[in-house]
Amino acid sequence: MGKNFDLPSSENKIQKFEWGYIKWLHEPKDLQVERMSAALVTFYPRKKQVKHLHAGEEQIMYVVSGKGYHRLNGDEHLISKGMVFHCPPYSIHEVVNTEDEPLEILLFYSPSKARNLSKSLTPSLERNSLCLEKLVNKDVLFETQERYASDLGICLGVYDSNHKPITSISNQPGFCRIMEQKGNKNCHSNTFSLDNLTKEKFFVFECCCNLKAVAVPVFINGFLAGYIKSGPFMINSPEKNVFEKIQSVTKTKKALDEFRKLRPVPKSRIYAVVEALNEMSISISEIVKKEFSDKIQIEYKDSVLEYPLDKEKGIIQKIKAGDREGAVEFAKQFLNELFANGYSLSQIKDAVVELLAVILRVIPGDVVSLSEIDSLRKKYRKEIWNSSDIENLAKRFYSYILDIAELCNDKLFFEERNAVIEAIECIKRNYKQKLSLEMVAQSVYLSPNYFSYLFKEQTGYNFIDYLTNVRLTEAKRLLKYTKKPIKKISEEVGYNDPSYFGMVFKRVVGMTPGQYRCKSAEEKHKKNIQCDI
């Protein structure tokens, strides 16, 4: 570990938050040997955590004392003394103390192990050619970065070995943007030496205002080609002098407002981020390997012919968006440039077939079935190779682009819409039973995170609010028109714990189930009197 990595030191044993504090009992000093960390978490009376994503870490929780509830991926569970529960990686959760006494939970964290990918690379990659920016397509690199940034919910950027940013930063907090605009040098990545990354698996350093950042190296053929940087991370609640420093540097209230949006995170979060960034580093190495072997320069008469890479990018972007006409327009420009740059018919066929393979790699498998794309690619590859002239080749090429773009458009529109419709039907059929976001997402073959986003976008409600609304709508009907006991009604609408049902009902409706039943009976009585008159 780097010398600046002071997270396990004795003065940082307790982290303080608005909702409580964490006392660290054990932390790993070397992730290659130790993985688990343990902590005792105390939640103040009637307080709750800010809902957050546990991306690359899992935890087991044991309730030492107190009572409250745990919300995991939209599913709520009562928790009390002696209970043990699990929070898996890549899940959204929060803990709420519902009592007037502290809620104490013993936590065991463990970062998710990064996948074991092959690190072998093309032997012809030489040390003097290790410029990451030249070795990998920026768009492909940015897509990889965006995927990790989105899944982990963190700020990410990729830099070369000269501290030069290769990609624009994903999820950059407003505070960091303001500090950079004000010329604060500590916000830049050159506040540490690359020697730290060459020697260590990762390096944690202080960027500014007591915030931490982490850097993970990207090695190609054993040589440092660049690094991935993530941050800022707030390890402890800020002291008063930090706010004064920000005010003196920025001279603006907006910077303070943006800084206050940052929330302290458990130190185990850093370990989980390191694991994920190591995986991302390996992925980048694999991308370099693929691109170096796939992108073969086409030589013609001892000179390198220009390849219209920008037109290739345009085709892919339009295909992903389902824009048929736009994709074909870029395809026409692609062929015209190849022809204008001196490519022979055979060389144009090589370039087009290579483009078909690129499209197969970059279209997300969760949007369109890769088997469908590959089937089309094989069909059109044969037809393109058999083309006798440029007109015939162009016709086949444009037909392929049209088919892929239409496939993406149809899948994106109908699968997303149908997935939400099926999910709503699933909720209405099964709301009386135990039901979670993960279960419904699985029933429509989507990941929980993507399903959660899609459901909110198309219905305007998050999953748990929608499920709660369905359950309470039926509960109100039963309270109003039947004489069933409240305990029975609670069970019939999916709540096994009547007290928890009552708490949810009051929070949403504004009164207890019993009060609602009385009010409904009074309104019904008044209506009957008016009818008699």
Task: Tell me the pLDDT tens digit for each residue of 152-161.
Answer: 778 888 888 7
Asked whether residue 490 carries a pLDDT value surpassing 80, the answer given is yes
**Mean pLDDT, range 8-20, rounded to an integer:** 64
Distance from the first to the final alpha carbon of the chain: 85
Which has the closest alpha carbon to 494: 438, 441, 428, 423?
Answer: 428
**Given a cut of 50, is residue 431 above it in pLDDT?**
yes
pLDDT top residue among 399 and 184? 399
pLDDT at residue 216 tops 80: yes
Is pLDDT above 90 for 199?
no
Alpha-carbon distance of 7 to 26, in angstroms, equals 12
Cβ atoms of 22 and 39 closer than 8 Å? yes
Whether residue 189 has pLDDT greater than 50: no
pLDDT of residue 136 exceeding 50: yes
Q: What is the structure's pLDDT at 389? A: 83
The better pLDDT of the pair 53, 210 is held by 210
Please state which of the ranges 70-84, 106-120, 420-434, 499-513 shows the lowest mean pLDDT. 106-120
Mean pLDDT of 136-154: 77
Residue 456 scores a pLDDT above 80:
yes
> Where is pLDDT greater, at 363 or 99?
99
Closest CA to 116 of 291, 284, 278, 290: 278
Q: Report the pLDDT value the prediction gives residue 364, as an integer from 0 to 100.
A: 56
409 vs 368: which has the higher pLDDT: 409
pLDDT classification of 504: cutoffs 50, 70, 90: very high
Chain-centroid distance, C-alpha 97 = 27
Instruction: Kindly tell me if the per-residue pLDDT of 128 is higher than 80.
Output: no
Top mean-pLDDT range of 76-80, 224-228, 308-312, 462-466: 462-466
Name which residue leads in pLDDT, 43 or 360: 43
pLDDT number for residue 511: 94
Three-state DSSP state, 262:
coil
pLDDT score for 124? 35
- What are the angstrom distances between the C-alpha of 116 and each of 183, 198, 275, 281, 286? 40, 21, 12, 12, 12
| Pairwise pLDDT comparison (380 vs 432), residue with the higher score | 432
Q: For 301-317, how does the pLDDT look when each residue is reduced to its tens digit (9 = 90+)?
A: 334 457 788 888 888 88
List Cβ neighbours of 263 (8 Å cut-off, separation of 6 or more). Answer: 17, 50, 52, 234
Residue 483 has pLDDT above 80, yes or no: yes
Checking if the pLDDT of 185 tops 80, the result is: no
Average per-residue pLDDT in the chain?
A: 76
Task: Name the nearest CA neighbour of 471 among 513, 514, 517, 441.
Answer: 513
Max mean pLDDT among 128-132, 262-266, 373-377 falls in 262-266
Q: Give the pLDDT mean for 514-532.
A: 73
CA–CA distance, 380 with 373 (Å, rounded to integer): 11
Percent of the chain exceeding pLDDT 90 equals 16
Work out the average pLDDT over 385-410.
Answer: 82
| Residue 417: pLDDT over 70 | no
The model's pTM is 0.42
**Is-contact 458 417, C-beta < 8 A?**
yes
Mean pLDDT of 490-501: 92
User: Bigger pLDDT: 219 or 28?
Assistant: 219
Of the two residues 309 and 93, the one the predictor is more confident about is 309
Instruction: Identify the CA nearest to 487 among candidates 463, 465, 517.
Output: 517
pLDDT at 247 over 70: yes
pLDDT at residue 331 tops 80? yes
Is the pLDDT assigned to residue 198 strictly greater than 80? Answer: no
Task: Specify the range with the lowest mean pLDDT, choosing from 373-382, 405-414, 498-507.
Answer: 405-414
Residues 317, 325: Cα–Cα separation, whole Å:
12
Above pLDDT 70, what percent of the chain?
Answer: 75
Q: Are 388 and 348 in contact (CB under 8 A)?
A: no
- For residue 9, what are its two tokens? 């030191």
In terms of average pLDDT, the best of 48-52, 303-307, 402-406, 475-479 is: 475-479
Distance CA 291, CA 82 (A): 54
Lowest mean pLDDT among 106-115, 322-331, 415-424, 475-484: 106-115
Lowest mean pLDDT among 51-55, 142-146, 320-324: 51-55
pLDDT of 39: 84
* Interval 388-398 mean pLDDT: 86
Hey, which residues does 303 pair with through a beta bridge?
300
Once rounded to an integer, what is the mean pLDDT over residues 109-113? 61
Q: Is the pLDDT of residue 327 over 80?
A: yes
pLDDT surpasses 50 at 76: yes
Mean pLDDT across 69-96: 81
Highest mean pLDDT: which of 13-17, 284-288, 313-317, 475-479? 475-479
Strands (E), 379-429: none
* pLDDT class of 115 with cuts at 50, 70, 90: very low
Provide mean pLDDT across the span 464-491.
93
